[in-house]
């Protein structure tokens, strides 16, 4: 290091009081005076302490010093860089200093707010400032990266969130590719009869949107399809979509329905009918399906199984059945991607004491949705498993699989409301006596609590307590032939056994079973629970850590339809902003390989989580694609040749910061400093 | 202050989880001992073992490396790489005569301000029990004793030496 030599840089250090937030615990004036005295040899030429550095006067102070004192580096000791790094960098830029030559070190979150000993806190603040000063010397002027944006967008998942996102984008005149795994778009919402809290019919509000999306001139809809490959990076992804064979020529098919009428093979429909009803081997999941064309499910089709049948082919009036159709791979270019792949329902079999799958008249929430849907297997009749008997006593159990250490700790958000919806529908349609078993009633959001009041007034009985067991083992004559709900009523403070005819389990929401694989495919991450992680839980809920990949709806966490729709629209707005601008600026926190030092060992190649490192076979060196690199720095740490440097987090910066932080603790004098 | 040993600890935090946990500890005014000084990295995967050696060689008594929980790294799974490196590094420093316990890896999500503060508290106590490391002093002593090693050959500096391709 530059022993005794003239310091290269002219550094300004600014210590913030943050009102009394910092000044109450740290002697800020002392830190400023000390920095000027002790860090002068490092190039510190000016230091200030100031009430509020982030105020316009504070910023002007920095700007004036840059101009008048010719500062070449700035260190601000204040709050967390996550709060105000941008503020101070922008101030520097205004004064003509490259913004990346400014470091913000935290003496509030990391010093004054977490320590109480004034002397120790002041000493630590000094060390933190010295670390920042040593580091900033090695900061390099950087320019943001400019990446052009392809105007088309990929939306994966055609539930309500994906549909909303696709429509927003397409309505503003931009191309959208909407990929849905099932034969029709619609997602879970298409399974419901009524939606809380307004109880409007789900199909009536969803169908128009589905039809809009299906017929939109700017939406290319790929149903019965999956994304199999994603290459490239923000602005320009190349996406390969696998279109499974429908065995139907969609140019000829009119959606008349004769094929599924004639098909002799009945199959239990686990997806749309939640296992409660049947479909045929050639089918559309529901009457309002978009697109209207059916698919033949080869796993169940008699012709695919034993080579005989072809009834559908015989009867199809337009000769649209094509048994020789093959899967197709379609490649599209897009600038951004929105993932809206939704949720799976918690598998109620995992709570054996509630008897689902063992006790016939225990139903899941989705089964119940189908049961009361006019287009469902019972034409909307709420009946027991025998298909005829109306229940007289019904139990609705909240929080199944949610808020439970054994399953999921989180609250699934919608189940209190859907349980209330069930109570209301049972009352309205059967007049049965309804018990709702809840832990806490969660009816936040607009008009939700009003709905709760309404259900209370309708006479539903609310029992507060987690149900211990649902059993058919009667102890009393009155329990004979019933399901008995055993619960500790925590308001009455006693155990209760309540006999009922039917039990509805409000199972929670879980991440899709394949969420991890999908996250991996698109280069984003999942939380420990498996929900996709947003860039910021409060301030950036629809962006992800991977540039160009957005998330919307229940993929991000449990939520209701209004919130899913809002996120779909929000994700679309984020994408639109980029399309309109034509390019984005990216933080230049990137790694770079110095080809002269690269030995071509390829160690780094496999480490990069974003496949940003390419190997040039001809020159035998690796190179980093800056649009793909997200700057994690793993390769920098791994390169045995030291050929990779990471901007903003270079070895020199970090090593010097370590030196700075420890400058005044070294028991032995190795530098031109003496210990404090 | 009384004359109990006050260790100096360098902490490496990743930008997305543990640094935010530290921010949260601050916002929530959760107190922990002032013995730790944090450095922000983008990810625990950036953790170069030489950073740890450097910190110890510059006078730190312990080093704490923190990152997102396994499966939550914002760069997918780089924290697993950090884990592997730390395990190896603990073996290496053991062979250099330094207690492996002076290097500790802690996972902390952005929500775990309390936990991070507790972990810091524990670690400070653990290091306090181990006593000062005084690596620079020991190296200088070795030099004075005529072992023929000088400052330039401090292990950390050795590793810093650029290896030509
Ligand atoms: C029983 C029950 C009742 C409810 N009642 C109400 C209510 O009354 N009111 C209300 O506001 N909310 C209600 N909700 C919540 C509501 O269901 C959700 O908020 C909403 O459906 C979320 O929409 P989504 O688009 O995020 O997900 P989904 O509806 O799950 O849609 C996701 C879509 O993505 C597709 N997909 C998944 N993976 C892939 C892949 N890899 N590739 C391509 N496509 C894929 C799926 O096939 C699906 O079509 C209820 C939920 C339940 C469980
Ligand atoms: S690890 Fe370093 S030397 Fe090896 S290929 Fe990558 S950049 Fe080149
Ligand atoms: S810094 Fe991380 S993201 Fe960038 S090239 Fe290296 S390993 Fe990949
Ligand atoms: S981003 Fe936190 S460990 Fe990788």
Domains and CATH numbers, chain B: 9-133 (3.40.50.960)
- Only one residue has tokens 């939606």, namely A195
Tens of pLDDT, residue by residue over A335-349, are 999 999 999 999 999
The class level of CATH for A591-646 reads alpha beta
**What is the pLDDT at residue B152?**
37
The Cα–Cα gap between A233 and A525 comes to 16
**What's the complex ipTM?**
0.88
d(Cα A162, Cα B48) in Å, to the nearest integer? 41
Query: Helix A56-69 to helix A81-94 angle, to the nearest 10 degrees?
Result: 50
pLDDT of residue A18: 96
State how far the Cα of B154 lies from the Cα of B161, in Å rounded to an integer.
11
Cα pseudo-dihedral A568, A570, A574, A580, rounded to 10? 90
State how far the Cα of B56 lies from the Cα of A665, in Å rounded to an integer. Answer: 12
Packing angle of the helix pair A651-662, B49-57 (nearest 10 deg): 30
Query: In a 10 Å sphere around its CB, with 0-12 CB exposed, 13-18 middle and 19+ buried, how is residue A410 labelled?
Result: middle
Q: What is the CATH number of domain A245-326?
A: 3.30.70
For A470, counting Cβ atoms within 10 Å of its Cβ (0-12 exposed, 13-18 middle, 19+ buried), the class is buried
Q: Which ligand is nearest to the CA of B45?
A: 4
Task: Give residue B148's pLDDT.
Answer: 44
> Among residues 103-122 of chain A, which lie with CB inside 8 Å of chain B?
106, 108-111, 113-117, 119-121
Three-state SS at B33: coil
Interacting residues of A325 by C-beta distance below 8 A, sequence separation 6+? A245, A246, A247, A248, A249
Burial A418-451, CB ≥16 within 10 A → b, else e: bbbbbbbbbbeebebbbbbbbbebbbeeeebeeb
CB B30 within 8 A of CB B114: yes
Q: What is the pLDDT of residues A533-584, one digit of tens each?
A: 898 888 899 998 788 999 999 999 999 999 999 999 999 999 999 999 999 9
3-state SS assignment for residue A490: coil
User: Would you kindly state where each structural domain of chain A is located, as residue ranges?
Assistant: 11-142, 146-191+198-244+328-340+512-580, 245-326, 343-510, 591-646
Ligand nearest to the backbone CA of A624? 3
Are the C-beta atoms of B7 and B132 separated by less than 8 Å?
A: yes
Q: Which atom of ligand 1 is nearest to the CA of A343?
A: 30
Coil, strand or helix at A26 = coil
- CA–CA separation, A336 vs A332, rounded Å? 12
Distance between the two ends of chain A, CA-based, in angstroms? 20
Tell me which of A159, A270, A397, A507 to substitute to probe ligand 1's pocket, judged by most ligand atoms within 8 Å of the beta carbon.
A159
Q: d(Cα A114, Cα B35) in Å, to the nearest integer?
A: 11
Please state, in angstroms and rounded to a whole number, the distance separating the CA atoms of residues A84 and A76: 10
Segment holding A503, helix H or strand E: strand A502-507
Q: What residues of B are in contact with residue A607 (Cβ under 8 Å)?
A: 45, 81
Write down the pLDDT at residue B2: 59
**Was domain A343-510 assigned CATH 3.90.190.20?**
no
Angle formed at CA A282 by CA A203 and CA A289, multiple of 5 degrees:
20
A326: burial class by Cβ within 10 Å (0-12, 13-18, 19+)? Answer: exposed
* Ligand 2, atom 8: closest residue by C-alpha: A598
Q: For residue A405, which of A511, A529, A504, A527 has the smallest C-alpha distance?
A: A529
Residue of A nearest to B151 (CA): A670
Q: Which of A105, A636, A654, A675 to mutate to test the interface with B (most CBs of B within 10 A)?
A: A654
Return the axis-axis angle of helices B113-130 and B18-27, rounded to nearest 10°.
Answer: 100
Which atom in ligand 4 lies closest to the alpha carbon of residue B18? 2
How many CB atoms are located within 10 Å of the residue A606 CB? 10
Of the listed ligands, the closest to the CA of A181 is: 1
Count how many residues are written for chain A: 676
> What's the confidence (pLDDT) of residue A496?
96
Tokens for A429, please give them: 């349609």
Interface check for A526 against chain B (CB to CB < 8 A): the answer is: yes
Q: Which residue has the higher pLDDT, A516 or B140?
A: A516
pLDDT at residue B162, rounded to an integer: 43
Task: Look at residue A1 in the predicted model and tell me its pLDDT.
Answer: 45
Determine, for residues B164 and A127 on separate chains, whether the beta-carbon distance falls below 8 Å.
no
Residue B73 to chain A, least CA–CA distance (Å): 7
Give the chain A residue nearest B63 (alpha carbons): A658
Facing residues of B9 across strands?
B36, B62
Query: Would you say B151 and B140 are in contact if contact means Cβ atoms under 8 Å apart?
Result: yes
Q: Which residues pair with A76 in a beta bridge?
A: A14, A104
pTM for the model stands at 0.76
Which positions ≥6 away from A253 have C-beta within 8 Å? A292, A293, A294, A316, A318, A320
- Residue B153 is predicted with a pLDDT of 37
For B77, list phi and psi in degrees, rounded to 5.
-140, 30
Inter-residue contact A615 to A101 (CB < 8 Å): no
Q: Does domain A11-142 have CATH number 3.40.50.960?
A: yes
Backbone φ/ψ region at A197: left (φ over 0), alpha (ψ -120 to 50), beta: alpha
Taking the mean position of all CA atoms in its chain, how far away is CA A649? 27
**Residue A628 CA, ligand 3 centroid: distance in Å:** 8
Assess contact for A354 and A503: CB atoms under 8 A. Answer: yes
In this structure, what token pair is assigned to residue A627? 């649009």
DSSP bridge pairs for A540: A536
Check pLDDT > 60 for residue B164: no
Give pLDDT tens digits for B19-48: 989 998 998 999 999 999 999 999 999 999
Find out whether B12 and B116 touch, Cβ atoms under 8 Å. Answer: no
Kindly tell me if the per-residue pLDDT of B141 is higher than 80. Answer: no
| Residues on chain A touching B85 (C-beta within 8 angstroms) | 637
Q: Tell me: the pLDDT tens digits for A228-267? A: 999 888 899 999 999 999 999 999 999 999 999 999 999 9
CB contact under 8 A, A667 and B27: no
Cβ distance A655 to B54 less than 8 Å, yes or no, reads yes
Instruction: Please state, in angstroms and rounded to a whole number, the distance separating the CA atoms of residues A137 and A283.
Output: 68
pLDDT band for B142, please (50, 70, 90 cuts).
low
Longest CA–CA span in chain A (Å) reads: 98
Per CATH, A146-191+198-244+328-340+512-580 and A343-510 having the same topology is answered: yes
Q: Which two tokens stand for residue B74?
A: 């914002």
Q: List Cβ neighbours of A580 (8 Å cut-off, separation of 6 or more).
A: none
Q: How far is the CA of A286 from the centre of ligand 4 (A)?
A: 44
Q: Verify whether ligand 3 is closer than 6 Å to residue A591 (CB atom).
A: yes
The ranges of chain A with pLDDT < 70 are 1-5, 666-676
- CATH superfamily for domain A146-191+198-244+328-340+512-580: FAD/NAD(P)-binding domain (3.50.50.60)
In angstroms, the CA A419 to CA A424 distance is 9
CA distances from A130 to A105, A156, A183, A403, B86 (A): 10, 49, 62, 47, 27
Q: What is the pLDDT of residues B94-121, one digit of tens each?
A: 998 899 999 999 999 887 899 999 999 9
Which of A88, A90, A65, A78 is closest to A12 using CA atoms?
A65
Interchain pair B134, A643: CB under 8 A = no
């Amino acid at each position: 290091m530059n022993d005794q030599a003239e310091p290269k840089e002219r550094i300004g250090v600014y210590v913030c009081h943050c009102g009394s937030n910092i000044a109450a615990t740290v002697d800020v004036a002392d830190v400023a005076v000390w920095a000027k005295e002790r860090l002068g040899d490092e190039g510190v030429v000016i230091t200030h302490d100031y009430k509020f550095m982030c105020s316009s006067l504070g910023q002007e102070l920095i700007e004036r010093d840059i101009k008048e004192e010719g500062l070449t580096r700035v260190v601000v000791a204040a709050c967390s860089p996550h709060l105000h790094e941008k503020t101070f960098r922008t101030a520097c830029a205004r004064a003509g200093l490259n913004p990346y030559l400014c470091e913000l070190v935290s003496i509030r979150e990391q010093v004054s707010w977490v320590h109480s000993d004034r002397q120790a806190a002041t000493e630590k603040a000094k060390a933190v400032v010295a670390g920042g000063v040593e580091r900033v010397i090695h900061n390099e002027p950087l320019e943001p990266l400019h990446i052009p944006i392809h105007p088309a967008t990929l939306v994966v998942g055609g539930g309500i969130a994906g549909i909303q996102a696709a429509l927003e984008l397409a309505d503003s005149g931009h191309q959208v590719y909407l990929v849905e795994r099932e034969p029709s778009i619609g997602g879970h919402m298409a399974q419901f009869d009524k939606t809380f809290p307004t109880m409007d019919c789900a199909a009536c509000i969803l169908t128009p949107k589905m039809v809009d999306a299906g017929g939109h001139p700017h939406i290319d809809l790929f149903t019965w399809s999956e994304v199999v490959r994603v290459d490239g990076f923000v602005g320009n992804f190349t996406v390969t979509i696998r279109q499974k064979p429908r065995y139907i020529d969609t140019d000829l098919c009119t959606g008349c329905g004769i094929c599924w009428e004639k098909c002799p093979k009945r199959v239990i429909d686990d997806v749309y009918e939640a296992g409660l009803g049947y479909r045929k081997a050639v089918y559309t999941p529901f009457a309002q399906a978009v697109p209207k064309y059916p698919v033949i499910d080869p796993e169940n089709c008699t012709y695919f199984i034993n080579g005989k049948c072809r009834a559908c082919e015989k009867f199809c009036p337009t000769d649209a059945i094509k048994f020789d159709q093959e899967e197709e791979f379609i490649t599209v270019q897009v600038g951004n991607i929105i993932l809206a792949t939704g949720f799976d329902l918690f598998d109620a079999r995992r709570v054996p004491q509630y008897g689902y799958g063992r006790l016939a008249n225990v139903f899941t929430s989705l089964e119940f949705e189908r049961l009361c849907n006019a287009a469902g297997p019972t034409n909307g009749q709420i009946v027991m498993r025998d298909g005829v008997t109306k229940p007289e006593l019904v139990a609705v159990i909240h929080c199944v699989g949610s808020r439970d250490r054994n399953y999921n700790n989180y609250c699934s958000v919608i189940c209190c409301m859907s349980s209330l919806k069930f109570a209301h529908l049972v009352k309205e349609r059967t007049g049965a006596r309804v018990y709702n078993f809840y832990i806490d009633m969660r009816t936040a959001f607009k008009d939700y609590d009003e709905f709760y009041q309404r259900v209370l007034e309708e006479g539903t009985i609310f029992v507060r307590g987690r149900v211990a067991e649902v059993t058919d083992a009667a102890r009393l004559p009155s329990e004979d032939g019933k399901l008995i709900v055993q619960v500790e009523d925590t308001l009455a403070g006693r155990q209760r056994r309540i006999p009922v005819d039917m039990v509805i389990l409000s199972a929670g929401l879980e991440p899709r079973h394949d969420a991890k694989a999908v996250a991996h495919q698109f280069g984003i991450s999942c939380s420990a629970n498996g929900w996709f992680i947003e860039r910021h839980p409060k301030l950036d809920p629809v962006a992800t850590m991977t540039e160009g990949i957005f998330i919307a709806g229940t993929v991000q966490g449990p939520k209701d339809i209004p919130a899913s729709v809002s996120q779909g629209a929000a994700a679309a707005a984020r994408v639109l902003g980029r399309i309109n601008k034509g390019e984005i600026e990216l933080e230049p926190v990137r790694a770079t390989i110095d080809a002269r030092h690269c030995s071509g060992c390829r160690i780094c190649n496999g480490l990069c989580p974003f496949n940003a490192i390419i190997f040039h076979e001809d020159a035998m060196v690796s190179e980093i694609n800056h649009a793909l690199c997200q700057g994690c720095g793993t390769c920098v740490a791994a390169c045995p040749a030291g050929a990779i440097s990471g901007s903003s987090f270079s070895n020199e910066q970090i090593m010097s910061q370590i030196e700075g932080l420890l400058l005044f603790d070294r028991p032995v004098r190795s530098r031109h400093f003496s210990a404090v | 202050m009384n004359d109990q040993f006050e260790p100096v600890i360098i902490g490496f935090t990743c930008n997305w989880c543990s640094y935010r946990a530290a921010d949260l500890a601050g916002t929530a005014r959760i107190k922990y001992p002032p013995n730790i000084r944090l450095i922000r990295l983008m990810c625990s995967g950036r953790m170069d073992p030489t950073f740890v050696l450097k910190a110890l060689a510059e006078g730190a008594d312990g080093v704490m490396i923190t990152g997102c929980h396994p499966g939550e790294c914002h760069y997918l799974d780089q924290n697993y790489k950090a884990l592997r490196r730390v395990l190896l590094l603990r073996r290496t420093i053991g062979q250099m005569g330094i207690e492996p316990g002076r290097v500790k890896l802690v996972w902390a999500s952005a929500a775990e301000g309390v936990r991070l503060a507790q972990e810091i508290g524990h670690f400070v106590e653990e290091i306090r029990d181990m006593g000062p490391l005084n690596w620079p002093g020991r190296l200088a002593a070795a030099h004075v004793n005529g072992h023929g090693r000088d400052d330039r050959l401090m292990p950390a500096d050795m590793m810093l030496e650029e290896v030509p391709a």
